Amino acid sequence: MRAPPCATPGDRLSSSISTATDLLRTLVGFDTTSAKSNLALISFVEDFLKGHGIAATRVPSPDGAKADLFATIGPKGQGGIGLSGHSDCVPVEGQRWTSDPFTLTLRDGKLYGRGSCDMKGFIACVLASAPAFKARNLKEPIHIIVSYDEEVGCTGVRPLIARLGKDLPRPRAVIVGEPTSMAVIDAHKRIDAYRTRITGREAHSSMPELGVNAIAAAAALIGELARIGAGIAARDRDERFEPPHSTVFVSTIEGGIAHNIVPKNCEFQWQVRSLPEASPDEVPRDLAAFAEGELLPQMRRVTEEAAIDTANEGSVPAFVAAPGSEAVALALALTGADRTKAVSYTTEAGLFEEAGVPAVICGPGNIAHAHAPDEYVAVAQLEACLAFLDDLAARLA
């Protein structure tokens, strides 16, 4: 792709929707499903920035198969505003798409493609704006942050965040451009993901009393999780969130080997999405109390080897912007919104905030269209984001 010409003083400095659309077409064309490498996309972004005289630093994943990217436009040093987006997207397998998910397709003012909304649309707007950022005489820097593996537990951005304030400049605020329809989000829930493994005892199905049925134990545990979840939902509420309580959810289950064998093994994955103020330990603790107090004593009457083990498979911290957050104040000023909102999905914002970098979530597209077949971002949303970025640059110039 040919790089667009740099804006010069006197030009209208805002970047065009056609440049952003062209960039989005290229970004969507890279299949950056989280399980795959994102290096082709990162190389493209690096080359695009280099073409506009902007140097970038790669932060490679431990196995070298993926990388984050960090680029600064404007004066060197600490401070400035970070614009952060993840390059990975969720899989398309099993989804019915009207058009090829990796070919950006315009229909009725909507740009369809995997990741168009979540969140390559934001990255395309940021890249399209980079030449205009460069042409401004920025008094404080704008940093472009592109991460990997957001969709699998926000793991990829963590090594980059660890370097902020060390060999990478620490922004004074970060805007995470997840799809919020350009609303200003200052809080989200937390996720804790778990896997519970049950070990029972095999037996011939004609004599089930000689075995310990691991699937039946899993069913009892899942029933208990539902009871625990209902108890929490009835007790702790925060009306800013939809739904206004923590949720407990079972996502996968696997067990048994044949219809005539009492199953020895079963395992299931589950997760808790907690309100920021909730204690994340409560659900696993209550489940363990049920397992040890009620279920295991029954199972161990048959075999001492019966076991129930629960392992945490990853957590994403909740996000709550600090009172008086300059990131939130900036996003409110740029959008003209008079209030903030809270959401139930998680993002990288909690990790930035936890590291002492004030964060806010604001980006183009509707989260309801993310992860779904026929994912799209409206052209009007990209235009709103370009105007937002243009305003940001004007404020920093």
Residue numbers at the binding site for Zn ion (CB under 5 A): 118-119, 178
Measured CA to CA, the distance from residue 363 to residue 171 in angstroms comes to 18
DSSP category for residue 294: I
Annotated catalytic, 150? yes
User: In whole angstroms, how close is the CB of 339 to Zn ion at the nearest point?
Assistant: 23
Q: Which two tokens stand for residue 236?
A: 């702790």
Q: Which is nearer to Zn ion, 114 or 136 (CB)?
A: 114
Q: Per the structure block, which two tokens stand in for 228?
A: 């625990």
Residue 119 vs 220, nearer CB to Zn ion: 119
Residue nearest to Zn ion (CB): 118
Backbone angles phi, psi at 257, to 5 degrees: -125, -20
Q: Which is nearer to Zn ion, 104 or 228 (CB)?
A: 104
Which of the 8 DSSP states describes residue 82? E
Q: Which is nearer to Zn ion, 119 or 175 (CB)?
A: 119
Distance of CA 366 to the CA centre of its chain: 14
Token pair, residue 39, equals 């290096």
- Give dist(CA 154, CA 132) in Å, integer: 30
User: For residues 83 and 119, which CB has a smaller minimum distance to Zn ion in the complex?
Assistant: 119
Cα–Cα distance list, 66 to 156, 281, 390 (Å): 9, 32, 30
Closest CA to 291 of 209, 205, 206, 194: 194
Q: Give the distance, in angstroms, between the CA of residue 267 and the centroid of all CA atoms in the same chain.
A: 26
- CB 384 → Zn ion: shortest distance, Å? 18
Crossing angle of helices 379-396 and 326-335, in 10° steps, is: 120
How does strand 319-320 pair with strand 185-188? antiparallel
- Least Cα distance to 325 among 298, 374, 362, 289 occurs for 362
When the beta carbons of 51 and 373 are compared against Zn ion, the nearer one is 373
Contact indicator for 180, 367 with CB cutoff of 8 Å: yes
Q: Which residues of 77-104 are buried (b: 16+ CB within 10 A; e: fewer)?
A: eeebbbbbbbbbbbebeeeebeeebbeb
Crossing angle of helices 17-29/379-396, nearest 10°? 110
**Active-site choice (46, 68, 88, 353):** 88
Shortest Å distance, C-beta 347 to Zn ion: 7
**Shortest spacing between CB 279 and Zn ion, in angstroms:** 26
Tokens of 27: 């970004």
What one-character-per-residue DSSP string does 184-227 give? -EEEE-EEEEEEEEEE-B-EETT-GGGSB-HHHHHHHHHHHHHH
Catalytic-labelled residue, pool 31, 150, 202, 353 = 150
Cβ nearer to Zn ion, comparing 149 with 390: 149
Check residue 2 and report its DSSP letter.
P
Q: CB-wise, 115 or 131, nearer to Zn ion?
A: 115
Enumerate the active-site residues.
88, 150
